Amino acid sequence: MKYTVALVGNPNSGKTTLFNSLTGSNLYVGNWPGVTVEKKEGDVKNTTENITLVDLPGIYSLAPYSMDEIVSRNYLLDDSPDLIVNIIDASNIERNLYLSTQLMELDCPIIGVLNMMDVVEKKGISLDTESLEKSFGFPFIKISAQRETGIDELIQMITKNVKKKEKRQMPRIFPLEITTVLQEFDALIQKQHPDVLSNYPMAFRSVKLIEKDEEVLGKISKSTDLLEDINRTRKKIETISGHDVDSAIADYRYRFITKSVKNATKIVRENTDHFQEKLDKVLMNRFAALPIFFLFMFIIYYVSITLVGELTVGGITWFINDILIVNVTSVLGNLGAEQWLIAMITDGVITGVGAVLTFVPQLVVLFIFISILEDSGYMARVAFMMDRVFRRFGLSGKSFIPMVVGLGCSVPGIMATRTLENERERKLTAVLTPFISCGAKMPIYVLMASVFFQTNQTLLVFSLYITSLVVVFVSGFILSKTWFKGADSGYLLEIPPLRVPKLKNTFTQVWQRIKEFLVRAGTIIFAASVVLWFLQSYTLGLQPVESADQSMLASFGMIIAPIFVPLGFGNWVASVALLTGIAAKEMIISTMSVLLSGTEGGFTMALSQVFTPVSAYSFVIFVLLASPCMAAIATMKKELGNWKDFIFALAYQLGLAYFVALIIYQVGSRIFG
């Protein structure tokens, strides 16, 4: 028998960490039919049963306001899992249990997992799980996902509970009078409107109908009879509670929670350690917060680009050119390989793949920094800091989070826009996130900087990031008043406590990103390097060329090259590189190294014949702003959801890139000659 267990909890409750602990290394990302949102799924380890764990997006309630919430809720309602594992951040227990009171209405067995117990105990607070079980009607267990304590006990508990079929009696959350009203309403629905959502759990159906939940109302044919019944019940609740229905229901839930938590909490000792609060005061000081943020960003790019670059790039390039290629050539030569085969392997594969691999150490360091930013809780603080600024440009502070994620890769960045409630802001952020330079574009800047701007390398790369921020703001301002016009959804954001990131988490995340990069190097870039080498080594008549200018790739590149003449890089090498860059951004340097390999004086020499400093700058600006790679384009299409917005977004990104690069080249070449 195969069981399904859903992992549900608030954002920031440690869900992903727990998911990884429970499933071990079996993790994979699955695309589910019908819903365009990725859920993670894995098998629970160390158990005698066959249990699949489904990781749902983190949510605060079952209200249908963001895509994340709708996805989680629809999954719980339609796929009815055998068990809900409700992860609760015990250091923020009241707010976390609010979701639990809603999950209780779903008629599905629940286990309450009190996470971050180490933090709670450090604060000198003890929680009584039996008392909580008595109040809530389902069992609780204490764990710390980060320290991996209580995991084995939790697995045993899941194994035991997943097989139980009998229903538990759920406790009464609302006062008796309200419960009576709800029961009467439910009886009325069953009698008068038996076909209304008959497959939904009773308690959930009644509450959602009375709350006039838009998703639920959208699923039924709204007969005037039913609406009248709903309104009559709402009136009753308002009379009893003295509040409107929405605040009454939320209020009752919280009262129930406050009472239950109070019964279960014991303060063992007063805690005096306030280090995190002090650190927060410094980082978020009204005057120092912004300078500190920019200092962090500068340090990140200085360390990963300049420091690590100086240490590694030279060595790796030397190894590839002077050791690998020389030895491979001589070994293959001794084996009697044909000249063309040797050239294909050295000038094609090794040069193309090698050009990308050269930058792996720098990317590793960049990804480590981004992962630390994500885990430490600093990201929410930056959103808080920037909200006022972003609001002026038609976005909210929350838009900043997808953009910081986008510094690593645009794909997860664009997907992170799902946490934005407002459709207009979500789409706008999805269109703007690719303007934030992703990790795969970084090697291009570094390469160009090292050839054309030897002094001030960090400054040049940093100027690109500033440019992309300016473009985001200006575009946000323009688009929010034209294409993506509409009301703003407001801003409400939890500020999590600052946490020391866990090394293991950082490594997992960095490794996953680097692995993707390496897989691309071994597949797409490997294959493309061979094809490119072939296309540039032979003429249209399949004759070997004397110089690459006569190759069929050159003839093709020359057709599109005129488009880029006004931007200063109207040559076939740059044109072909930009085209292959659509597959993956790091292809741009692979392509250029393959195309320019064998030129006298080496790659650097060859590059300075193709570009001038001004046209090199115009080229990197174009690469920075033009539409992202295939994967990000596909993600953007998925998130925008329709062709109209998608085609507009592509046209906007390409048009803007062309326009900005044009200005830079035309103005720059007149100033610097």
Partner 1 sequence: MFTLKDLRPGQKACVDSIMVEGIMRRKLMDMGVTPGVEIEVNKTAPFGDPIEVKLRGYALSLRKKDAQNIIMI
Q: Report residue 553 as tokens.
A: 């790739």
**Measuring CA to CA, which residue among 96, 116, 120 is closest to residue 267?**
120
Among 91, 260, 433, 593, interactor with partner 1 by CB under 8 A: 91
Residue closer to partner 1, measured from CB, 235 or 388: 388
Applying CB under 8 A, does 94 fall inside the site for partner 1? yes
Written as one string, the DSSP assignment of 196-209 is SSTTS-HHHHHHHH
Applying CB under 8 A, does 494 fall inside the site for partner 1? yes
How many residues interact with partner 1 (rule CB under 8 A)? 37
**Is 53 flagged in the annotation as binding?**
no
| Stretch of 164-172, 182-190, 407-415, 493-501 lying at the interface with partner 1 (CB under 8 A) | 493-501
Applying CB under 8 A, does 68 fall inside the site for partner 1? no
Shortest CB 177 distance to partner 1, Å: 18
Shortest CB 221 distance to partner 1, Å: 24
Q: What is the torsional sign of CA 19, 24, 25, 31?
A: negative
Applying CB under 8 A, does 384 fall inside the site for partner 1? yes
Among 247, 604, 609, 642, interactor with partner 1 by CB under 8 A: 247
Shortest CB 98 distance to partner 1, Å: 7
Q: What is the torsional sign of CA 598, 601, 605, 610?
A: negative
Residue closer to partner 1, measured from CB, 23 or 480: 480
Is the Cβ–Cβ distance between 374 and 366 less than 8 Å?
no
Q: Rounded to whole angstroms, how far apart are CA atoms 624 and 442?
A: 9
Q: Report residue 630 as tokens.
A: 């295939």
**Is 601 flagged in the annotation as binding?**
no
Q: x/- string (CB under 8 A) for partner 1, residues 251-280?
A: x--x--------------------------
Strand order through the sheet with 140-142: 28-31, 38-43, 50-55, 2-9, 83-89, 110-115, 140-142
**Is 523 flagged in the annotation as binding?**
no
**Measuring CA to CA, which residue among 451, 439, 412, 300 is closest to residue 356?**
439
Q: Report residue 588 as tokens.
A: 């741009």
Residue closer to partner 1, measured from CB, 242 or 601: 242
* Angle, CA of 64, 113 and 252, to the nearest 5°: 50
Please count the other Cβ atoms lying within 10 Å of the Cβ belonging to residue 203: 19
List of residues 6+ apart from 353 with CB closer than 8 A: 521, 522, 525, 526, 529, 590
Contacting partner 1 within 421-480 (CB under 8 A): 421
Applying CB under 8 A, does 499 fall inside the site for partner 1? no
Shortest CB 492 distance to partner 1, Å: 5
SS3 label, residue 130: helix
Among 92, 161, 591, 597, interactor with partner 1 by CB under 8 A: 92
Residue 412: exposed, middle, or buried by beta-carbon count in 10 A (0-12, 13-18, 19+)? middle
Applying CB under 8 A, does 492 fall inside the site for partner 1? yes
Applying CB under 8 A, does 388 fall inside the site for partner 1? yes
| Stretch of 57-65, 173-181, 199-207, 478-486 lying at the interface with partner 1 (CB under 8 A) | 57-65
Residue closer to partner 1, measured from CB, 30 or 490: 490
Q: Rounded to whole angstroms, how far apart are CA atoms 475 and 487?
A: 17
Residue closer to partner 1, measured from CB, 94 or 107: 94
Applying CB under 8 A, does 387 fall inside the site for partner 1? yes
**Is 244 flagged in the annotation as binding?**
no
**Is 116 flagged in the annotation as binding?**
yes
**Is 21 flagged in the annotation as binding?**
yes
Residue closer to partner 1, measured from CB, 397 or 476: 397
Q: How many residues does the chain have?
A: 673
**Is 10 flagged in the annotation as binding?**
yes
**Measuring CA to CA, which residue among 106, 150, 135, 161 is closest to residue 14?**
150
**Is 544 flagged in the annotation as binding?**
no
Shortest CB 490 distance to partner 1, Å: 5
Applying CB under 8 A, does 115 fall inside the site for partner 1? no
Shortest CB 59 distance to partner 1, Å: 10
Q: Rounded to whole angstroms, how far apart are CA atoms 669 and 388?
A: 38
**Is 218 flagged in the annotation as binding?**
no
List of residues 6+ apart from 263 with CB closer than 8 A: 128, 131, 135
Among 15, 41, 51, 60, interactor with partner 1 by CB under 8 A: 60
| Stretch of 201-209, 319-327, 483-491, 618-626 lying at the interface with partner 1 (CB under 8 A) | 483-491
**Measuring CA to CA, which residue among 573, 527, 529, 581 is closest to residue 553?**
573
Beta strand pairing status for 265-267 and 125-127?
antiparallel
Cα distances (Å, whole numbers) of residue 168 to 3, 357, 426, 629: 19, 57, 40, 51
**Is 596 flagged in the annotation as binding?**
no
Shortest CB 277 distance to partner 1, Å: 9
Cα distances (Å, whole numbers) of residue 563 to 312, 592, 662: 36, 18, 11
**Is 38 flagged in the annotation as binding?**
yes
Shortest CB 493 distance to partner 1, Å: 5
Is the Cβ–Cβ distance between 105 and 130 less than 8 Å?
no
Tokens 């409700």 appear where? 86
| Stretch of 150-158, 363-371, 494-502, 529-537 lying at the interface with partner 1 (CB under 8 A) | 494-502
Tokens 């300078």 appear where? 291
Residue closer to partner 1, measured from CB, 52 or 131: 131
Shortest CB 114 distance to partner 1, Å: 14
Applying CB under 8 A, does 70 fall inside the site for partner 1? no
Shortest CB 385 distance to partner 1, Å: 6
Q: x/- string (CB under 8 A) for partner 1, residues 285-324?
A: -xx-xx----------------------------------
Is the Cβ–Cβ distance between 127 and 287 less than 8 Å?
no
Q: Rounded to whole angstroms, how far apart are CA atoms 410 and 604?
A: 29
Is the Cβ–Cβ distance between 621 and 664 less than 8 Å?
yes
Shortest CB 250 distance to partner 1, Å: 4
Residue closer to partner 1, measured from CB, 469 or 552: 469
**Is 118 flagged in the annotation as binding?**
yes
Which residues does the annotation place in the binding site?
9-16, 20-21, 23-24, 34-38, 55-58, 115-118
Q: Which residues bind partner 1 (CB under 8 A)?
A: 60-61, 63, 65, 91-95, 98, 243, 246-247, 250-251, 254, 284, 286-287, 289-290, 384-385, 387-389, 397, 421, 489-497
Binding-site annotation, residues for GTP = 9-16, 34-38, 55-58, 115-118
